[in-house]
Structure 1
Amino acid sequence: MSYIRNVELSDAEVLVEIYRPYVENTTISFEYETPSVDEFRSRIENISKKYPYIVMVEDDEIVGYAYAGTFKGRKAYDWSVETTIYVREDKKGGGYGKKLYLELEERLKKQNILNMYACIAYTDNEDGHLTNNSMQFHEHMGFRLIGTFKKCGYKFDKWYDMIWMEKFIGEHKVNPDAVTKPEI
């Protein structure tokens, strides 16, 4: 049985282990070193104050997580978020990413968020460190490509591109509803 719940600070150790292979073996993350459990707890705490941070649990084990974060730190950007998702390597392709993103989107809509953005590593030549599966996943989830930064990330002795994708999830009207805090 699987379900989605809000993240807890006690989940940090498991989330670090889900994230670790993405940092150490891929350019999906442009971080060079895996954050400590304390750093991850701090990230969870800060993000959860303003946005949804959720985990997918199957058979009492966390198999993935997703969250939204500040897109830009200016008031005019309040209705926009940057999204992040990671699924345990041995659970990829099981539909967990889709379920997590759909739940994240619903929670963001309840907060009156209008725009979801994803910053994704991209390559013209897939290799052992990066495929373009993340871009394809986001396309499948209704995102569209809006920009490319060429050769802006350097990792594993190679330059990689970064793309931005967006998805509108609400109506852009004059005097939009104020953004609210996430449900707990």
Structure 2
Amino acid sequence: MTLRFAGQGDVPALLAVYQHAIPTSITFEYELPSVEEFARRVDSISRIYPYLAAEEEGAVTGYAYAHRIAERAAYAWGAELSIYLHPSAAGKGLGARMYRALMDLLRLQGVRTVYGLVASPNPASERLHASLGFRVMGVQRNAGYKNGRWIDLLWFEKAIAPCDVPPAPLTPIGMLPGEQVRAILDRP
């Protein structure tokens, strides 16, 4: 299994993974985005944050990315993590590996706290977050309506760096030292 940064050429494969989540409440989107819209999202996120693809035998089996938790300036040092796996890749440790890589990259960038928003119930995602040291910080009740029911969102959080000194501006992902990035992505 190889972890690497996703690029525009991966968009169709990423969408093929994401389409499995559309009928579920894992995502609150009702319809699969167009290739153009998804390409715009990948490009926008990748300018600052890591957007990872997992590849096995030439096929993308999952992807994970981070983005700013909220837009105001003071939120710059928090990031929300998202992950989507092809059903055939679930339950094999890939989610934990991708989340660990995201957190290590984000720490290098200067992020202090990461968050996971999980539509509940989602036992697999809840276990993943708990196993990586996240704690539930709250429940957003009836946050979305999909598939004929109201869905709660569990908010998970994890500190990945201390908040004991004023932060420097976030380092864009493309400006991190290549050898450190490669070491993170190559770690099993």
TM-score greater than 0.5 by the shorter chain: yes
C-alpha distance after superposition, 1:62-90 (max 9, x if no partner):
11111001111111111001110011111
Equivalent runs, 1:1-184 vs 2, <5 Å? 2-24=1-23, 26-123=24-121, 131-183=122-174
What secondary structure, in the 3-state scheme, does the structure 2 residue paired with 1:66 have?
A: strand
2:116 counterpart SS class? strand
% identical aligned pairs = 35
| Dislocated runs of 4+, deviation >2 Å | none
Aligned length: 175
Separation (CA, whole Å) in 1 of partners of 2:13 and 2:58:
12
Q: What's the secondary structure of 2:19's corresponding residue?
A: helix
TM-score for the superposition, normalised by structure 2: 0.90
Corresponding letter in the other structure for 1:54: L
Structure 2: how far apart are the matches of 1:151 and 1:175?
Answer: 36
CA shift for structure 1 position 142? 1.1
TM-score w.r.t. structure 1 length? 0.91
| Contact 2:48-2:174 within 8 A present in 1 as well | no
Q: Structure 2 CA distance, aligned partners of 1:3 and 1:21? A: 21
Q: Deviations over 1:118-149 (max 9, x none)?
A: 111013xxxxxxx3221121111111000101
Q: Provide the rounded CA distance (Å) in 1 between the counterparts of 2:151 and 2:100.
A: 28
How many angstroms apart in 1 are the aligned matches of 2:151 and 2:73? 31
2:180: which partner in 1? none
How far residue 152 of structure 1 moved from its aligned partner, in angstroms, is 2.0
Structure 2 equivalent of residue 127 of structure 1: none
* Partners of 2:108 and 2:141 in 1: CA distance: 35
* Structure 2: tracts of 5 or more residues without a match: 176-188
SS of 1:183's equivalent in the other structure is helix
